[in-house]
Each structure stands twice: as structure tokens, then as C-alpha cells.
Amino acid sequence: MKINNRLSNVNEYHFKKIEDMKNAAILTGKKIIDLSIGDPDLEVNLKITSALIDGLKDYRYNNYPPYDGVMELKKAVIKYYKQVYSVSLNSDEVIILIGSKEGISNIIPAVCDIGDIVIVPEPAYPVYSICSKLWGSIPYTVPLTPKNGYMLDFNAIPEEIIANCKLMFINYPNNPTGAVASCEFYKSIIKFSYDNNIVLCNDSAYNEIIKADKKAISLMQYDIKRQCVEFGTLSKTYNMTGYRIGYAVGNARVINALLKVKSNCDSGQFIPVQKAAIAALNLERDYVYNMRKIYDERREAAKSVLLQKNINFFDAEGTFYLWCKTPDNYTTNKFCEELLINNGIVVTPGNAFGKLGYDYFRIALTKDKVIIEEALKSLNKCGD
Ligand SMILES: Cc1ncc(COP(=O)(O)O)c(C=O)c1O
């Protein structure tokens, strides 16, 4: 049997490996606290579940949904952008996705030919570079370093790379570091993308997960020529990872190209799930504020234990992650493995986000504050 050659460049999805290790530990009877995957533990709002249940009862939704999403959900996304960012969007500048991961993958063949370069950050959500390889494009990784607050330094990209690049991903608020971009950063990277005719995509999965007193900003606020794209998801803000619902907004030509790919590969998301997403986007803003306060408390609690334990971390302003330095005399993998075996704590090894993540690990604040504190307080048992 012959298998696609490009798959030899692709490893098993990292969270699958972590899941396997965790399950093996559980089988030995170990109590596990999982702070690895970014899957919120908070409850789904009742208005969201009610909308889903009402949708399930409507026989009209048994049929195929529209490929680009139901108009009512597009309108809810448009209203959301207006309300939160004061950005006006047309309906041909919005597409509904089966989770943003789907769109992040499908935008690659929508924009790039085989052999084109895709600029991706590192460390990063691995999908940008893995799916670039799967689709026959070539990821060019730009290091994100603590020196510049994990902002992507586009000035460091060589001319010949820029000349062969059509697509570029950024991700702010950033997974895994928790860095949040400023409007100055957005303005300057948008100018870089305009000057070089590159489609700039911001993956804004964590757009609302910032400190409670901060204002969320969007790439689209500064994309005056409407040439960029921004991905969004209901997964993180509304605790709906299992629902698989997200969206992309931005340049109508690119959105239409994405629809061309999608409509040939999938048939859209089940309408009751889209109804649930509408209910989520229509929740009062208090919902978002309260969710942020929960993560603020967890973040502060975790930071204070890490400080006591002399574990260095980036002072994150967003996402529900903390990006921590592996203690000296440990490799990343050895540290994470010992943490699991000795302490029953699962964190994500930094190299899951690319080579530049070696010597780091990521903590997801997706458990109750008390559980996070209990887990982190046991850290110095590791390697004793
Ligand atoms: C940076 C980033 N982008 C996108 C996603 C995918 O989100 P979705 O559930 O919408 O596919 C994730 C999920 O962990 C993520 O961390």
C-alpha cells in the first residue's frame, strides 16, 4: 500500500500522545490533574444548551445546512464585531466553520499553491505548520522570543521567503505564551502584509480571554483595506469545544476561496449547533466579564505559586495558559514525564509547539483555582 509522502513529515497530533500517556497512568490507578489541553472546564450557559435542544426538535434542521453557515449566525458575528470592535462587516466577509481548526487548515489551499511558503510563528499552535505541510505548502517558521514579548518579528524574514509567500499566520492573544498584541503591532504587521501582498490571518481563538479590565482588540480594526482574515471560535469563550463551531471574517475574495475548498470537502455544521452559537454570541457582555474574572483569579493564583517555586514564566496578559521555563538540569520531556509519573500532573511539553518550545512547558488554567494551586504546590516534589 502507498501512503502520501508528505505524511512522513507529520507526527501524530501531540495531544493524542499526551492523552495516551495520561490514560496509561490512570490505568495504574494514579490520580491525575490534567492541566494540558486548552479545554475549558466551565459550564455552558443554559441559553446556549436551550437553543441547541430547541434546534434538535425542529425537523427542518435534519437536512444539509448551507455550506457557508446560516445567515442568522453570520448576522450574529457581524453584530458581535460591531458591538465589541466597532468593525462593520458585510455578509460575504463572514463564513461559518466547523471549529476554527477546520478553517485554519482549509485556508491554506484556498490561498496557496503547492510549494508556496506560509509564514508561521514558533512556538505555536501546531496546526499552522502541520497543515501547511499536508497541503503541499512550505511552512517558514519565525521565532517568537521573550525578548520582544513574543510578537512576531517580520523584519527578520529574508527577502526570498517574502517573495514566495502568500499566507501568514499570527495568533494573538497567543497560545502557548499568553502574549497579547497591541494596536501598534497590528498596524505594523498589516502594513508589512500589504506591502508584500501576503494574506495575513490572525487566529483570535482567545480574543475574549484577556484580563477583565482590558478591552479586546481585533486585527480587523486596523485592516483598512480589508485584505486580512481573522479566525474566531465559540470553543474557548463559551466553553463549547465539543460543539465544533467557529468563523472566519475578512477579505471577501479569500472568504469565497475558503468556501470553495470547504464546500468540496465538508457540508457545514449541523444547524442546531449554529443556533447554539447564535445564543452564545447574543449573551450579555457580563457573561464575558465574569468568565475573564475567573481566569484572572486562576492566573494570579498560579503565578503566585510558581513564584514561590522559583519557576520562571511569561507574565501572560491573555489566554488561559502560562508558559513556563523547565527547571535547569531537566529536558522538557523528562520534566513533563516525571511530573505525570511522580505527581499525577499533566502539562504540555513546550516542544509540542515546535522546536523553539524546548526548555518550556505550558500550564492550562482549565481547572478550578483550588485544584490548580494544589497541583502547582506539589511541583517541588518533582525530581526530589
Ligand atoms: C490557537 C488556537 N487556534 C485554534 C484552535 C482551535 O479551536 P477550535 O475548537 O475552534 O477548532 C485552538 C484550540 O486549542 C487554539 O489553541
283, 300, 328 - which closes a domain = 283
pLDDT of residue 13: 67
By the 8 A CB rule, do 104 and 252 touch? no
Any idea what the CATH number is for the domain that residue 253 is in? 3.40.640.10
Count Cβ neighbours within 10 Å for each residue of 306-336 and write b for 16 or more, e otherwise. beeeebebbebebbbbbbbbbbeebebeebb
Domain with 10 in it: what CATH number?
3.90.1150.10
Q: Are residues 152 and 20 in the same domain?
A: no
Predicted confidence pLDDT, tens digits, the chain (384 residues): 888 888 887 877 677 777 888 888 888 888 899 999 899 999 999 999 999 999 999 999 999 999 999 999 999 999 999 999 999 999 999 999 999 999 999 999 999 999 999 999 999 999 999 999 999 999 999 999 999 999 999 999 999 999 999 999 999 999 999 999 999 999 999 999 999 999 999 999 999 999 999 999 999 999 999 999 999 999 999 999 999 999 999 999 999 999 999 999 999 999 999 999 999 999 999 999 999 999 999 999 999 999 999 999 999 999 999 999 999 989 999 999 899 989 999 999 999 999 999 999 999 999 999 999 999 998 864 544
Query: Residue 288 has what pLDDT?
Result: 98
Pocket test for ligand 1, best of 13, 77, 125 (most atoms within 8 A of CB): 125
Do 259 and 335 have their domain in common? no
- Cα(159) to ligand 1 centroid in Å equals 30
Question: Is residue 269 within 6 Å of ligand 1 at its C-beta?
Answer: no
pLDDT score for 44? 98
334 and 279 in a common domain: no
Of 283, 303, 331, the position where a domain reaches its end is: 283
Element (H, E) at 299: helix 285-308
Question: Position of cell 502547582?
Answer: 376
204 and 153 in a common domain: yes
Query: Which residue from 106, 130, 233 has its CB within 8 A of the most atoms of ligand 1, so it is best to mutate?
Result: 233
Residue 364, all three cell numbers? 492550562
Q: Domain span at residue 217?
A: 46-283
**Helix, strand, coil share (%) of the chain residues, nearest 5:** 50, 15, 40
Q: Write down which residue in 252, 267, 283 finishes a domain.
A: 283
Distances (CA, A) of 204 to 64, 173, 209, 283, 357: 28, 7, 10, 19, 21
Beta bridge partner(s), residue 97: 246
Q: Report the distance separating Cα 300 and Cα 297, nearest Å.
A: 5
Residues 118 and 242 in one domain: yes
Is residue 64 a contact partner of residue 269, using CB atoms and an 8 Å limit? no
Q: To which residue does cell 458575528 refer?
A: 77
Which cell numbers in the block locate residue 381? 516534589
Closest by alpha carbon to 219, among 251, 243, 246?
A: 251
Number of domains in the chain: 2
- Are residues 112 and 236 part of one domain? yes
Going by CA atoms, what residue is nearest to atom 14 of ligand 1?
A: 38
